[in-house]
């Protein structure tokens, strides 16, 4: 019954004092938040801790949500700032998630890849692994577009970019993803991308 409520309705009721109803929002967006956070950190434990912190922050500042954008868009701004703060605290040899050094760290993960293990994983796991090999910016734009169901305009607004720039970024990110898959999961990709391989 509760799941049919819109985000705005739920928020309105929470602001009127129904704290328990926040659980619906947590259920609805936990995978979205957790997936986005995992783009910033390798550790699932850390990701879970950050995600929990994000929902607490979202709850506390719920009165600031004006409903001008989607709740997921607003939530993403908290995800981003929380992840940046986490990375700074962890002193991940960088001061910015867009920093080239962070990207290099992610690139280095490639060398520790065990292709035998990967071969046994499902198609979905392969995509998620390939996305993790991308830079944070690339993986964010892909996750927001495909999993957050955000339009180019919305992604542009939350990333502070023009929709056209987002479009170009998305094109490039998908091409890089394809390259990563071809490089690290050549066997699966051959199966998938040959005319009779998909499906």
Partner 1 sequence: MNTQSPMEERLWDYIDGLGSPAERSAIEALIAENREWQEKYRELLNVHQLLNTSEMEAPSMRFTKNVMEEISRYHVAPATKTYINKNIIRSIGAFFLAMITGLLAFVFSQLKWSGANSGAASPYNKFVDSASSLGAEKLGWLKTFNSTWTIAFMLVVIVLGWVMLDMYLTQKKERAGTQA
Contacts with partner 1 in 141-160 (CB under 8 A)? Answer: 142, 146-147
95 binds partner 1 (CB under 8 A): no
Distance CA 115, CA 23 (A): 39
Contacts with partner 1 in 168-197 (CB under 8 A)? Answer: 170-171, 174-175, 177-178, 181, 192-193, 195
Contacts with partner 1 in 21-60 (CB under 8 A)? Answer: 22-23, 26-27, 30-32, 34-35, 38, 44, 47-48, 51-52, 55-56, 59-60
- Smaller CB distance to partner 1: residue 21 or 84? 21
Number of residues binding to partner 1, judged by CB under 8 A = 47
The distance in angstroms from the start CA to the end CA of the chain is: 35
CB of 28 to partner 1, least distance (A): 10
14 binds partner 1 (CB under 8 A): yes
DSSP string, 131-196: HHTS-HHHHHHHHHHHTS---HHHHHHHHT--HHHHHHHHHHHHHHHHHHHHHH-HHHHHHHHSTT
- Smaller CB distance to partner 1: residue 101 or 183? 183
Distance CA 96, CA 167 (A): 23
Distance CA 190, CA 197 (A): 7
- The site string for partner 1 over 55-94 (x = CB under 8 A, - otherwise) reads xx--xxxxxx---x--------------------------
Tokens of 50: 């950050």
Distances 73 to 5, 58, 64, 99, 129 between C-alpha atoms, Å: 18, 12, 13, 23, 24
- The site string for partner 1 over 100-129 (x = CB under 8 A, - otherwise) reads -----------------------xx--xx-
DSSP string, 1-70: -GGGS-HHHHHHHHHTT-GGGHHHHHHHHHHHHHHHHHTT-S-HHHHHHHHHHHHHHHHHTGGG--SSS-
Would you tell me which residues interact with partner 1 (CB under 8 A)? 14-15, 19-20, 22-23, 26-27, 30-32, 34-35, 38, 44, 47-48, 51-52, 55-56, 59-64, 68, 123-124, 127-128, 142, 146-147, 167, 170-171, 174-175, 177-178, 181, 192-193, 195, 198
């Amino acid at each position: 019954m509760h799941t049919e409520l819109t985000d705005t309705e739920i928020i309105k009721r929470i602001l009127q004092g129904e704290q328990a109803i926040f659980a619906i929002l947590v259920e609805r967006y936990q995978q979205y938040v957790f997936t986005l956070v995992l783009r910033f950190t390798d550790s699932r434990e850390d990701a879970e801790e950050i995600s929990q912190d994000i929902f607490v922050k979202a709850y506390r500042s719920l009165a600031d949500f004006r409903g001008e954008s989607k709740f997921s868009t607003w939530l993403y701004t908290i995800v981003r700032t929380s992840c940046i703060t986490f990375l700074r605290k962890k002193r991940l040899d960088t001061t910015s998630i867009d920093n080239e050094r962070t990207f290099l760290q992610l690139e280095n993960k490639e060398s520790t890849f065990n292709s035998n293990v990967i071969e046994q994983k499902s198609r979905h796991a392969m995509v998620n692994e390939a996305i993790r090999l991308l830079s944070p910016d690339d993986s964010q734009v892909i996750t927001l577009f495909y999993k957050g169901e955000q339009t180019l305009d919305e992604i542009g607004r939350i990333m502070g970019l023009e929709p056209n720039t987002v479009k170009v970024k998305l094109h490039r990110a998908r091409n890089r993803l394809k390259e990563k898959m071809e490089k690290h999961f050549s066997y699966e990709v051959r199966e998938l991308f040959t005319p009779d391989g998909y499906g």
